[in-house]
Structure 1
């Protein structure tokens, strides 16, 4: 088996991306998104991006990662964990893919890792886990010793069916009456809002907020009350069609801020020309079910395996 890493043969990157698209039927990885989850990931190490080459083509690929740089606040906390963020293979090379998984596991053990996970790797991820419709991939990982440790869903919204309901307009008016203002944040507020998001939620969400502020086709909304931030929402962080994260201060929940942020942000995405919006990696099923145009819910299993 001819196994090469992107460190050894960086020219294989395009073929790996093509393989992801042609073998993972629910996923669509354009060049920009592929760069986001590989070379633009500050933790990316080309030694852990593996390809099996057969007959002059990439037949199987595995993208592994360890968190070594960002977010710096969690590097020490996650020092014993590694991730496989993507796996792909043509049907006749699935045994070769299993071998690639084993090679990655061996590399991670040598790096001192005690667990490998698939694929809840924030903030530069393809998917939050194994899509349950990829039954062959789920079976391959289970046979390799992985076990389910969590679950998540992606909502997909047909934006030709999306609209801003009257009930949400009434909520927005009520928020305005109560002195709660929802506005677009500027790049100059990156530190102010980013610090608030990190303190209230997580450093991962801060990373994605900063990505969106810097993106040409992304953005951030902030909800304010009495000059203080009480909520935020993001779009276009990893890719233009991605919504989120979104969060409201626990002390300000229950009054409609989250719902208005949700609909205002999706309206901005519609204005950007997003055809299908993805609300990724969530367990908040009822909150997002209120969005007109939801036409698909992808279910994922998060898997993990303890290493020797």
Structure 2
């Protein structure tokens, strides 16, 4: 039988998740925070498959009820952020039953594009990891989803990290030109959030604000300024309080090519090393982008690849 989410389902969904997706286990607290407390969560969009009283499948479809700060409702777009079917009953059409009902829900919201799973802010993974979940990737392809792009997750160890002399030279050159690189001050927070929203995307501004409200130390945010104007920033520990998680990180397009990105990256890694953090990682970049090349040249390596998928309705 198929139905929608009911109170009390959460524990069984988390247990099923951890059984089916061992590469990405979650806690009940994380499920509560990123699903049930999401401002866009609608119980009608969380489709459940049950056999008697036992939950054997689940799929979450979501649309925006509240716009991202500085964004809009993206009324043409909907997202599927996770799906799962109990392993011993896979390949019996249960996944398709979940998807058909999720698509029906999204159609009723006026959606014309369905994505897996590039929803912000509360995505679990940027897309589908074909290597970890080949059957899930094959299922989406069979059901009419096509690959849009493939972001990667990267990591670097900090156990042997030393602040490079070459980066210190760049920093000194920029300081002589009037640039300042420092931990963010309280008085700069509004300007920083606006910069992140305008120069990059509203999810970055939200990440800064939410991280600080959840207790992140402002010293974990490094900013570059020129004539009192913020032109770049980097941070760590802003997502779910995970200190090893680096980012977001960016430099204004008009200021690129001056080594500011490298300086911000290494100043932040140095702060992490000072806190005895053993490694830095993040979930989402393009290997072929300027940021991807910067990471690769500074000790980061790809450890997972994801496919953002889309289906036109």
| TM-score bucket of the superposed structures, by smaller chain | 0.7 to 0.9
Q: Deviations over 1:207-241 (max 9, x none)?
A: 12212222324642211122111101232333314
Q: Which moved more, 1:263-272 or 1:38-47?
A: 263-272
Give the one of 277, 301, 306 matched to 1:300: 306
Q: Deviations over 1:30-63 (max 9, x none)?
A: 4454334213322222222233234654332212
- Please provide the CA RMSD for this pair: 2.4
Q: Which moved more, 1:22-31 or 1:118-127?
A: 22-31
CA distance in 2, matches of 1:111, 1:287: 40
* 1:65 matches 2:66: no
- Going from structure 1 to structure 2, the CA distance change for 1:36 and 1:12 (only over 3 Å counts) comes to same
Normalising by structure 1, report the TM-score. 0.87
Whether the aligned pair in 2 keeps the contact of 1:42 and 1:70 (CA below 8 Å) is no
Match of 1:34 in 2: 31
Give the one of 104, 107, 110 matched to 2:108: 110
CA distance in 2, matches of 1:306, 1:199: 29
* 1:259 matches 2:262: yes
> What is the Cα deviation at residue 168 of structure 1?
2.5
- Going from structure 1 to structure 2, the CA distance change for 1:40 and 1:177 (only over 3 Å counts) comes to farther
> What is the Cα deviation at residue 93 of structure 1?
3.5
CA distance in 2, matches of 1:197, 1:302: 23
- Going from structure 1 to structure 2, the CA distance change for 1:287 and 1:33 (only over 3 Å counts) comes to farther
Whether the aligned pair in 1 keeps the contact of 2:148 and 2:310 (CA below 8 Å) is yes
Match of 1:204 in 2: 203
> What is the Cα deviation at residue 16 of structure 1?
2.1
CA distance in 2, matches of 1:159, 1:89: 38
Superposed counterparts of 1:172-251, under 5 Å: 172-186=171-185, 189-217=188-216, 219-239=220-240, 240=242, 241-251=244-254
* 1:83 matches 2:79: yes
Where 2:153 maps in the other structure, the secondary structure is: strand
Aligned length: 302
Where structure 2 has 5 or more consecutive residues not aligned to the other structure, the ranges are none
> What is the Cα deviation at residue 255 of structure 1?
1.4
Where structure 1 has 5 or more consecutive residues not aligned to the other structure, the ranges are none
Match of 1:43 in 2: 40
